């Protein structure tokens, strides 16, 4: 008796469908990394054939990956023209960091009560890894530890909220990398005092203090990127988000005025 291959409702073999999903996932992750790290520069037009060669998959999964990256804001579709990587947009940066402020301050409030000594120790290890990467001027290692630090701060929230936060983190990471392309990485020690203060608040279980410290840290980081990519441009959404959290108006103004890396 001949065994039939398992079929999906749509009639496509299950094994074939699984392989296609894997290829799409591979293409999406690889292209995401190429874009956020600047290996595919802002403003670049995207050829599906060339991208297929770069990712090692066919053009069909590349096409699906581009659709996913368009949803994430990392690719820009254009009528009757090739898609491209968006150029710097101050309004988008403002919106991305506004979302991060609101989402991550909510998530850290949920996460702190769930933190264990092991969790806090892992966050401390991320800080040490950032210091070491800064000493070696290794931007990739620094970004990896930095991403881990911020991810652990919100790990206790639900998966749906974590997905949204990861998306905003990727988009903000692209802007940070854009701000230092072709230059010696600036401000290796910038933000360390803020990171330490956030960790100390977590250790003490000071949920509201940690949320405010995180919000101010994210806003200062965004203003720093604006200073490098769009001098003279100010965000509107970020200050509104800070006001909603009860951050003092004078403190908000100082974030925009100082523009320190």
| Domain stops at, among 26, 52, 84 | 84
CA 7 to CA 136: how far, in whole Å? 53
Q: Do the domain assignments include residue 7?
A: no
Same domain, yes or no, for 127 and 225? yes
Q: How many domains does the chain fold into?
A: 2
Same domain, yes or no, for 101 and 67? no
Domain that residue 163 falls in: 90-258
Reported as a single tens digit per residue, the pLDDT across 31-75 is 998 998 888 988 999 999 999 999 999 999 999 999 999 988 889
Please answer whether residues 114 and 156 qualify as being in contact, where contact means their C-beta atoms are separated by less than 8 angstroms: yes
In the structure, what pLDDT confidence band is assigned to residue 88 with cuts at 50, 70 and 90?
confident
Same domain, yes or no, for 27 and 134? no
Count of other CB atoms within 10 angstroms of residue 182: 5
**DSSP line for 97-153:** HHHHHHHHHHHHHHHGGG--HHHHHHHHHHHHHHHHHHHHT-HHHHHHHHHHHHHHH
Report the predicted TM-score, pTM, of the whole model to 2 decimal places.
0.80
Q: Do the domain assignments include residue 4?
A: no
pLDDT at 186 over 50: no
């Amino acid at each position: 008796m001949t065994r039939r291959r398992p079929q999906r409702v749509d009639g496509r073999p299950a094994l074939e469908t699984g392989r296609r999903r894997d290829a799409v996932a591979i293409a999406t992750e690889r292209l995401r990394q190429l874009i956020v790290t600047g290996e595919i520069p802002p403003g670049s037009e995207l050829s599906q054939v060339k991208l297929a060669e770069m990712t090692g998959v066919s053009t069909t999964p590349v096409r699906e990956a581009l659709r996913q990256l368009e949803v994430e804001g990392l690719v820009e579709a254009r009528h009757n023209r090739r898609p491209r990587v968006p150029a710097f947009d101050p309004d988008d940066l403002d919106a991305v960091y506004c979302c991060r402020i609101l989402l991550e301050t909510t998530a850290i409030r949920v996460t702190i009560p769930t933190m264990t000594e092991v969790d806090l120790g892992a966050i401390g290890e991320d800080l040490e890894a950032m210091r070491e990467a800064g000493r070696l001027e290794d931007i990739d290692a620094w970004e990896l530890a930095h991403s881990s630090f911020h991810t652990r701060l919100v790990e206790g929230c639900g998966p749906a909220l974590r997905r949204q936060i990861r998306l905003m983190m990727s988009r903000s990471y692209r802007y940070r990398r854009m701000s230092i392309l072709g230059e010696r990485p600036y401000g290796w020690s910038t933000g360390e005092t803020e990171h330490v203060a956030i960790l100390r608040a977590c250790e003490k279980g000071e949920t509201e203090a940690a949320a405010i410290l995180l919000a101010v840290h994210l806003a200062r980081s965004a203003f720093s990127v604006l200073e490098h990519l769009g001098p003279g441009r100010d965000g509107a959404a970020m200050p509104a988000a800070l006001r909603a959290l009860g951050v003092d108006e004078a403190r908000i103004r100082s974030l925009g005025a100082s523009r320190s890396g």
